[in-house]
Amino acid sequence: MNATELKKFIQKRARELGFDDVGVAKAERLNDAAVLLRSWLDTGQHGTMSYMDNHFEKRVNPTALVPGAKTVISFLYNYHQPNLNWTKGQPKIASYAVGRDYHKVLKKKLKILFREIEEKVGTINGRIFTDSAPVMERQWAERSGLGWRGKHTLLIHPKKGSWFFLAEIISDLDLKPDDPIEDHCGTCTRCIDACPTDAISPQGYLMDGSKCISYLTIEKKEEIPKEFEGKMQDWIFGCDICQDVCPWNRFAKAHNEPDFQPRADYSALSRKEWAEMTEEQFDEWFFGTPVKRAKYEGLKRNIDFLRK
């Protein structure tokens, strides 16, 4: 099997496994991204996420992460949940977190694909990643032609929107890279205008993580600063605002992954039920979901903060 045939096999098999798109980029140091990342870290826009400053060279150079790497294969996996019917004043959870933990779902599929690639070409030197290591996923997906990074900094696919998980195989496979595509955000500022905490810079393309609702409700372990009182717009775990307002998501379709079906009817829970949630209920409602990462105490903190 030559390189062209192998690439076609990977693309075809990935789609059979449920991935929505596949792209390939040359494994090389992300010099421009490294400069921007260094500035972002130095200005404290990562908040308390100290791990973002760890393994800097591995984060910007895939050959430091996987010695001998030649290609980064990026994958998109749809998680769009258009049937979540939150009502005004009701605590809300980011749509990516209502089903089974995506790390487990995607990693299982990539392990199957990785094994099948080796059955075709023999042992390869490579690793699979699903938001589980210092990999600049959006930059690699952009380089591989799967979309462009919008003003909200998320990847936008021109035909499918932005409701995607990203995953990668970094390996010594020698495959032809795909071409990046143009940015199509134009003069649109909907995501910038809609962000209630002003986390997105006025010019776009830069997110102050320390102000992002997702950071405040998930990553930040200390008390949420008072300056954000009245600005959370009922989000208690993550936030979908910038994606909800993005006009490119008019092309988004509902996911087809059974594991991503909501584990409970969260949108039927009243504000009172959320406020009175017990630890046993937390374990029952969020078993196997990303929300477990916040722990009971963390989610209660977020719920209580809405009342301030």
- Structural tokens at position 227: 């300056």
- pTM score of the predicted model: 0.96
- Overall average pLDDT of the 38-57 stretch: 94
Q: Is the pLDDT of residue 308 over 80?
A: no
- Separation between Cα atoms, residue 156 and residue 137, nearest integer Å: 13
The residue among 167, 302, 283 whose CA lies nearest residue 232 is 302
| Beta carbons of 101 and 131 less than 8 angstroms apart | no
3-state helix, strand, coil in the chain (%, to 5): 45, 15, 45
pLDDT score at 55: 93
* Ramachandran assignment for 161, one of left (phi > 0), alpha (psi -120 to 50 degrees), beta (any other): left
- Separation between Cα atoms, residue 164 and residue 303, nearest integer Å: 27
- Overall average pLDDT of the 174-203 stretch: 98
- Overall average pLDDT of the 296-305 stretch: 97
Q: Is the pLDDT of residue 122 over 90?
A: yes
Give the list of residues 6+ apart from residue 165 with CB closer than 8 angstroms, or none: 76, 77, 79, 96, 102, 106, 130, 131
pLDDT grade for 87, boundaries at 50, 70 and 90: confident
- Overall average pLDDT of the 70-79 stretch: 98
| Helix and strand counts by DSSP (H, E) for the chain | 12, 8
- Separation between Cα atoms, residue 182 and residue 24, nearest integer Å: 16
The partner residues of 74 in beta bridges, in order of sequence, read 23, 168
Q: Is the pLDDT of residue 307 over 90?
A: no
pLDDT score at 85: 86
- Separation between Cα atoms, residue 116 and residue 226, nearest integer Å: 52
Identify the helix (H) or strand (E) that includes residue 148.
Answer: strand 148-149
Is 131 noted as a catalytic residue in this protein?
yes
- Overall average pLDDT of the 212-235 stretch: 97
pLDDT score at 89: 87
Beta-strand relationship, 126-129 and 148-149: unpaired
pLDDT score at 267: 87
Please pick, among 20, 21, 101, 131, the residue that the annotation labels catalytic.
131
Print burial letters for 67-98: b (CB count within 10 Å at least 16), e (below 16).
eebbbbbbbbbbbbbeebeeeeebbbbbbbbb
